[in-house]
């Protein structure tokens, strides 16, 4: 019965696995409480070689049950966020009396008969079934009966308040954008197409873009905000206006942006805006001169807030072998004019020294590095590594050195030295840093502004690797990659994991410019 009504959507191009790790919920906003569950889900699937899936509902479900008229995420935005959080499948249930009236056991029975569920991940306050009569204790019993594992994720709290979609909606409607953004884990955004207005902004000296937004999107409290706008493939600071334009007798709520240091027409183009600070409430002025004078004051406040922003941003990139993460990392560096660290090259450099000096014990390597510190630079798109003032950059890319690097990666004290050196390097970074490598977003910079995890379909990865290696069969490479993934995932030290609050980039079949466009959109929203 359920299988006839459920809508199954594949969210990426990765190969299918047997079985599913599943979570269930509305997930409006995909806030910190949600993403703690999603992160657990995705890593559970990664470790156990399962598909990850989210069972969610049509928007009519929360609209009717919770009397919600607008959402933190539109239906399309939510699906996109699921994909960006590393989820493989979305299963959308219809809003029907038949589903609403199912008992907890009947609901789970129908799910396991439709989806091969191996594990279920839920928050500790999860309720389900008719009249919300089922809870996590019910799930434990049903897990034993229907043979699936249960993972319960603790609730996220902020000042004793449970992080929830309704709490964040209220914050937005009160203009408390800073708190809302913190609980979301990203800057609240509004996407839309630029449409022609009546040019009132231009007439008073402040031309704005008028954004046609989706009607199901929650629009925060009216007023002036400091924010940013993604236009084409650039990001600009902006003054954002939300309101009815009472000075001119307006009635309809509009979202407009005065983009700083920008002068071009954008009619018909898609833009994304994020809200960062609430400047003042909307108000009616007696004249356009008074409105113009207030806008000047608003812009002074916004420019002062821009000066206070942290200048150095950190982007970390990890992922599977052959996923193309190095190409992506270097493209971001070039586009954003950031510094770059190739974390893997540091381990290879120490591996090279271990081989050359016949240093096989950790204490020997630690002693050597204490007398001969590792040094690295990034200059003109080239990452260079030195030890004892000897450059090793061109000597460390062999398979043999890779094996030594793997040995080095298991040495905790050596890892601490290399982690410290990467953090120390940050002190001299002027604009931003891209750190590529294992545990870059989990250990080295866990509080990075943007943490990316790159993967691609196994066939694509094998083809890329075979092309790099030359005379070798794709099937042979595929076997190697599958074994390599198993080793990386199951390592005792620094295993391959999706980073907390990270984002997934599927690099299977899109060009580097499109990949960059996705990443820039995430960078726009990053706190």
Annotated binding-site ranges: 319-327
A 10 A CB-CB count for 98 gives 10
440 class by beta-carbon count within 10 Å (0-12 exposed, 13-18 middle, 19+ buried): buried
Which residues define the annotated binding site for ATP? Answer: 319-327
Number of H helices, E strands in the chain: 18, 22
- Quickly count: other Cβ atoms within 10 Å of residue 443's Cβ: 16
Pull the structure tokens for residue 453: 């995890």
- Residue 7 pairs in a beta bridge with 92
Q: What is the DSSP string of 45-94?
A: HHHHT-EEEEEEE-THHHHHHS---SBSS-HHHHHHHHHHTT--EEEEE-
- Number of Cβ atoms within 10 Å of the Cβ of 275: 25
Look at the block and give the residue holding tokens 């990452």.
Answer: 383
Q: How far is CA 243 from the centre of its chain?
A: 30
Please state at what angle helix 512-525 crosses helix 325-336, rounded to 10 degrees.
60
From CA 389, how far away is CA 374, in angstroms rounded?
A: 9
């Amino acid at each position: 019965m359920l299988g006839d009504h459920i809508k199954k959507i594949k969210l990426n191009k990765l190969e299918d696995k047997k079985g599913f790790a599943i979570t269930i919920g509305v997930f409006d906003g995909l806030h910190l409480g949600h993403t703690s569950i999603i992160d657990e889900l995705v890593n559970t699937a990664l470790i156990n070689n399962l598909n990850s899936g989210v069972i969610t509902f049509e928007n009519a479900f929360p609209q009717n049950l919770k009397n919600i008229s607008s959402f933190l995420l539109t239906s399309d935005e939510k699906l996109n966020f699921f994909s960006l959080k590393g989820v493989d499948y979305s299963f959308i249930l219809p809003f029907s009396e038949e589903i609403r009236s199912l008992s907890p056991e009947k609901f789970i029975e129908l799910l396991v008969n439709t989806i091969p569920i191996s594990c279920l991940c839920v928050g500790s306050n999860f309720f389900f079934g008719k009249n919300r009569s089922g809870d996590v204790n019910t799930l434990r019993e049903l897990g034993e009966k229907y043979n699936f594992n249960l993972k319960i994720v603790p609730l996220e709290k902020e000042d004793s308040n449970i992080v929830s979609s309704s709490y964040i909606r209220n914050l937005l409607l009160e203009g408390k954008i800073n708190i809302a953004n913190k609980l979301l884990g990203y800057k609240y955004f509004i996407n839309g197409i630029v449409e022609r207005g009546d040019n009132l902004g231009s007439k008073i000296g402040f031309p704005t873009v008028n954004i046609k937004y989706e009607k199901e999107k929650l629009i925060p409290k009216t007023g002036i905000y400091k924010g940013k706008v993604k236009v084409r493939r650039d990001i600009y600071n902006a003054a954002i206006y939300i309101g009815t334009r009472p000075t001119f007798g307006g009635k309809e709520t509009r979202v407009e942006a005065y983009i700083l240091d920008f002068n071009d027409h954008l009619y018909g183009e898609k833009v994304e805006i994020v809200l960062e600070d609430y400047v003042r409430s909307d108000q009616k002025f007696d004249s356009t001169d008074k409105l113009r004078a207030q806008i000047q004051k608003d812009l002074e406040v916004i420019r002062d807030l821009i000066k206070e922003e942290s200048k150095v941003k950190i982007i970390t990139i990890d992922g599977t072998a052959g996923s193309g993460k190095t190409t992506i990392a270097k493209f971001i560096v070039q586009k954003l004019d950031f510094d770059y660290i190739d974390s893997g090259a540091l381990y290879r450099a120490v591996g090279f020294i271990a081989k050359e000096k016949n240093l096989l014990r950790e204490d020997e390597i630690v002693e050597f590095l204490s007398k001969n510190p590792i040094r690295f630079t990034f200059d003109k798109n080239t990452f260079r590594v030195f030890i004892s003032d000897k450059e090793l950059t061109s000597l460390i890319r062999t398979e043999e050195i890779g094996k030594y690097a793997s040995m080095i990666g298991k040495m905790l004290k050596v890892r601490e030295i290399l982690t410290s050196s990467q953090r120390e390097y940050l002190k001299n970074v002027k604009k931003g840093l891209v750190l590529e490598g294992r545990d870059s977003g989990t250990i080295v910079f866990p509080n990075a502004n943007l943490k990316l995890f790159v993967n691609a379909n196994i066939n694509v990865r094998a083809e890329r690797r075979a092309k790099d290696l030359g005379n070798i069969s794709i099937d042979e490479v595929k076997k190697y990659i599958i074994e390599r993934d198993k080793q990386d995932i199951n390592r005792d030290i620094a295993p391959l994991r999706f980073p907390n609050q990270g984002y997934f980039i599927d690099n299977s079949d899109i060009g580097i410019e499109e990949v960059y466009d996705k990443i820039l959109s995430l960078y726009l929203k990053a706190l």
